Amino acid sequence: MTQAPEMPEAEPVGQVADAPKANWVDLYAPVPARPYLRLSRADRPIGTWLLLIPCLWAIALAGGVSGFRGWDLWLALSCGVGAFLMRGAGCTWNDVTDRDIDAQVARTRSRPLPSGQVTVKAALGWMVVQALLAAGILFSYNWLAVGLGVASLALVAVYPFAKRFTWWPQVFLGLAFNWGALLAWAAHAGTVPPAAVALYAAGIAWTLHYDTIYAHQDREDDALIGVKSTARLFGDKSRGWLWGFAALTLVLFATAVVLAHAEAQRPLAFVVALGGVWAMGLHIGWQMRRLDLDDPASCLLVFRANRDAGLIPLPFLAVAAWLG
């Protein structure tokens, strides 16, 4: 008796093409909530990590200057929730503004708006809900941090349009995605010293590195529809630019460490903190050796690996703060 062949398991209805398979949204979220969670990229947590990591850098490095406080635990946890909410609101806004472009790109046409899972009106309502929840967290901080948080909305609003008028939209993403370095430092210390600005600049350079890699997935579709990106701008010279952005990230990060520890007179703590920057550099070097810019799967894998690259300095910075 011949055994009937097993049928392949059906993919969840509405699954986004570039989301990880078997993600928690597709497996466990209530069906009515799934399109909204997909709008927020909850099925792809890498963006939340990349938004949160500069905040954690700032808390850890600022703690090395003035010591950790009980407030910092709330600050770290609330930055995590805030990163999830504001990344969700920003991605929802991005999808609203890009819905016609997304419909023309193979990787993005399955997103909730171009695929018809959600209406524009419902998406805007969802964006407002997420932003209001994030505002509730923001207003638990000091007034300098609140002001910085409100100011960041201009960057969030402009970013989706950047690829229409500049070859450098990744700069605008960097400005928005790393704003948390300034905000979290202000929330911890009540000031934004030069070390925080250097850390912010390091994050922008890092974003240019990882988001240029990400943009290489879509460079052919982007060329057909006229969307600009650093991946298209650099073309065959991209590897050289990526090495340059990596080097700039590490130099600026080291500068932030030097500025933060300049008055502390704690040589061991200073060396440990710089060790974190060095370890991050080793990971980025590994990324570059593995990266194949002509293979979208390789680009996505290496892009996602930047979560680990960003987390690597944190234990070094935390130990340096403890040594102080």
Tell whether the model's pLDDT for residue 1 goes beyond 60: no
Does residue 93 fall inside a structural domain?
yes
Q: How many distinct structural domains can be found in the chain? A: 1
Domain span at residue 43 reads 37-323
Q: Is residue 96 classed as helix, strand or coil in its secondary structure? A: helix
Q: Is residue 226 within a helix (H) or strand (E), and if so which, with residue range? A: none
Is residue 264 within 8 Å of residue 316, measured between CB atoms? no
Token pair listed for 146: 């609140």
Provide mean pLDDT across the span 122-144.
96
Query: In the predicted model, is pLDDT for residue 21 greater than 90?
Result: no
60 within some domain: yes
CA distance 255 to 196: 10
Residues 6+ apart with CB under 8 A from 52: 79, 80, 83, 180
For the segment 68-93, what is each residue's pLDDT rounded down to a tens digit? 777 889 999 999 999 999 999 999 99
Give the residue with greater pLDDT, 13 vs 105. 105
**Nearest alpha-carbon partner for 140 in 79, 84, 88, 60:** 79
| 33-54 as b/e: b if 16+ CB within 10 A | ebbbbbbbbbbbbbbbbbbbbb
* Residue 267's CATH number: 1.10.357.140
16 assigned to some structural domain: no
Please write the tens of the pLDDT for every residue from 189-247: 999 999 999 999 999 999 999 999 999 998 888 888 888 999 999 999 999 999 999 99
CA distance 205 to 244: 9
Identity at 65, one-letter amino acid code: V
- Identify whether 242 is part of a domain: yes
Question: Under a CB-based contact definition with an 8 Å cutoff, are residues 49 and 119 in contact?
Answer: no
Question: Is residue 7's pLDDT more than 50?
Answer: no
Give me 278's structure tokens: 């060095």
Which of these, 60, 55, 62, 57, lies nearest to 264 by C-alpha position? 62
Instruction: Kindly state whether residue 20 falls inside one of the protein's structural domains.
Output: no
Average pLDDT of span 307-322: 94
Pick from 95, 279, 126, 310: nearest CA to 209 = 310
Q: Which residue in 306, 280, 305 sits closest to 60, CA to CA?
A: 280
Q: Report pLDDT for 324.
A: 64
Question: Residue 126 — pLDDT band, cuts 50, 70, 90?
Answer: very high
In a domain, 24, yes or no: no
Task: State how far the Cα of 95 lies from the Cα of 314, in Å rounded to an integer.
Answer: 32
Q: Is residue 207 part of a domain?
A: yes
CA 155/CA 266 separation, integer angstroms? 37
Res. 136: pLDDT tops 90: yes
Q: Which residues contact 25 (CB under 8 A, 6 or more apart)?
A: 19, 34, 37, 38, 42, 43
Rounded to 5 degrees, φ, ψ at 206 are -65, -40
Assess if residue 9 is contained within a domain. no
